[in-house]
Amino acid sequence: MAKTWFETQLSQALSAGRKRDYRKAVTILENLAARGYAENGDRASGGHPELYLYLARSYHALGNFARAVAYARLYLELRPDDGSGWFFLGRTYLASGTVHRAVFALRTSLEKNPESVDARALLGMAYLKAKKPIIARAVFEEALERDPDNPRLNEGYRNALFIEAIRTYKRGDAEQARQMLTFLINNDIDGVVPRLYLAHTLRDLGYLPEALGEYENAALFSPEDEVLPWYRVAVLLEMGRAPEAHALMAELGAAVEGASAVSPEVVNTTIIRTHLESGQWAKAAQAARVHIRNYGPSAQVHALMGEAQRNLGNVEAAVNHFNRALELDREHPEPYYGILMVFKSERDWEGLCGVANRAERAGCDPALINYYRTLCRANMDTDPAVLLPELQEAVLQIGADPELMEALARTYFRVGLFDLSVGWYDKVLQLEQGNEDAWLGYIASLEQLDDTARRLEAYRGYLALWGDNSGIRRDLVNFLEENEQWEDAADQLEILLGQFPSSGIERQLALYRRKAGQYRKAAILYRSLLRETPDDRSLLSSLVYCLDRMGETDSARKLMQSANKAFKPTADSLLIEGRLCVRAKDYQAALVIFRKVVDRFPKDTRGWEEVAHVYDLQGVPEMAATFRQKARDTLNSGKKKKK
């Protein structure tokens, strides 16, 4: 049996997909979906919702995750109980970093298809990315019961178990962590980190020779690591093998005189410092935690722990450790500097002022205290005109300090010197590209200057770093709409639709696609919207317009005819049907429809005008003139009645 036109087109799309020519596949599939084959099918078969699923998979392969999500959701509107649809939606959410939505979609996929090993594997990965290793491990275990030899599942299970082992150790259960890490190392999860944590567990449990061996094994994986040898020094000292420890210290360039000059406690402090100097914040925090547990509180170690936690972004823990250091040693106010840095990074200006006052009383550097107070004044309600000379002088004296430069930029903005604020915000961003407040100030300054080109570039730069800021993305959409950059506006709105699904955003997106001349994409959206409100004449007219622009005038005409039969026709709907007949050069049918407009809506002059236009096209100017006169008479009659 010969293939239908639809079957031929679909076969070509699938063939293109197999050859990884996804752009060709997308073109064919969108054309089919826009024509209505996804919902209505053809004469030989019913609807083909799978078109949307193929589109979702194709756009996923192209890396356009927002559009992949949009098409996956369209598919699920038609096939809500298909587990594969939820699976592919979850896969795309996971790839785009929207982990919580990925978890929901993949759990739904498993509800629809509990036997899917692939869905369980991906759900386990999603839980790992969501930092829930215990749940991830349980998911992988369930999947392995169904497919125990699956290498992907085994790898995911081991990764989840490894993260759980580290957390178990940090909770203080060294024996359980030791068992888990030993299992992992014996099952190909090996390297410097597993060996290091296994050594830590053995050391905590008192198995010092075994711990020494594992520290040596860890060093084999990372021979350039400057910290690992110090763990061996500490264990050797704990074992009473001081000569070997001293010899190793000599190799490290830290030889000491006499056995009593060094202790495990001193070596552990050195380990913490070395981790900090190497930027290994988590390892420094862990080493400090072990030190405090084994040797008790120490002002020095609490200060080092505070610095590690500050760099990890653990604000409350950092401040607590710095304050503990101050409690233990009030003669040394240095931990205040760490607290000041924490409050500055958090932009807690009121709190920063209070800390600066306490730090001053404790004897901290007056110049540094003055610097922090200047920042406080710059970011609070100080009169900008009074503040400006102070900031200018501070920047001149201190130099390229991002916080001061940002404060100066903000002050220029507050006094209305937007050309200067733009320049200083730009300088801040050259030093700190990840400074979100500087980006926002930069965008606001460009908005005041009406600098279209740089403002667009700034929006894109900001969203490349903080893509989940829906407010800024909405601002960008409005900006693009104002400048009639319809395709870009649609692409940005499509991302918002994936984050906040709503018919309002979908309708706006359809409008943008239509204005951008992307009639296939717009038609697909209008069909989706019409499923919710099939009697919406505006949506129907927009769909018909898109079909006509696609070259599908006959399909548009048939759709309008069906609508006018199903619903009470309006003057507008009849006029659209008639104009489509004109475009199809079916002039007699057009005249019949336009005369219906004249009969049913006698005060609407458009019916007479359209009849005149048809006679013009047929080359009958006398009849055209007659009907134009009738249009004028109708218009004049209406004006007289109003008087």
Torsions phi, psi for 262 (to 5 deg): -135, 150
What's the CATH fold of domain 552-643? 1.25.40
Strand partners, 42: 45
pLDDT at position 562: 87
Distance of CA 501 to the CA centre of its chain: 15
> CA angle at residue 634 from 628 to 637, to 5 degrees?
140
DSSP state of 42: B
pLDDT at position 640: 56
- CA-CA distance, 16 to 13, in Å (whole number)? 5
Residue owning tokens 């998911």: 139
Quick: pLDDT tens for 120-161.
999 999 999 998 999 999 998 998 888 888 888 888 889 899
pLDDT at position 112: 96
pLDDT at position 73: 95
CB-count burial class (<10 Å; 0-12, 13-18, 19+) for 250: exposed
Q: Low-confidence residues of the chain, pLDDT below 50?
A: 259, 643
Question: Which structure tokens are listed for 8?
Answer: 């031929």
pLDDT at position 252: 82
Question: Which structure tokens are listed for 577?
Answer: 């049907």
Radius of gyration of the chain (CA): 35
- CA-CA distance, 272 to 255, in Å (whole number)? 19
Nearest to 310 by CA among 336, 281, 287: 281
393-425: burial string, b at 16+ Cβ within 10 Å, e else: ebbeeeeebebbbbbbbbbbbbeebbebbbebb
Contact 291, 243 (CB under 8 A): no
Q: Identify the sign of the CA torsion 475, 480, 486, 487.
A: negative
**Upper half-sphere CA count for residue 379 (Cβ side, 13 Å):** 25
pLDDT at position 41: 62
Contact 121, 150 (CB under 8 A): yes
pLDDT at position 535: 87
Residues written for the chain: 643
Provide the residue ranges of all domains of the chain, joining segments of one domain with +: 552-643
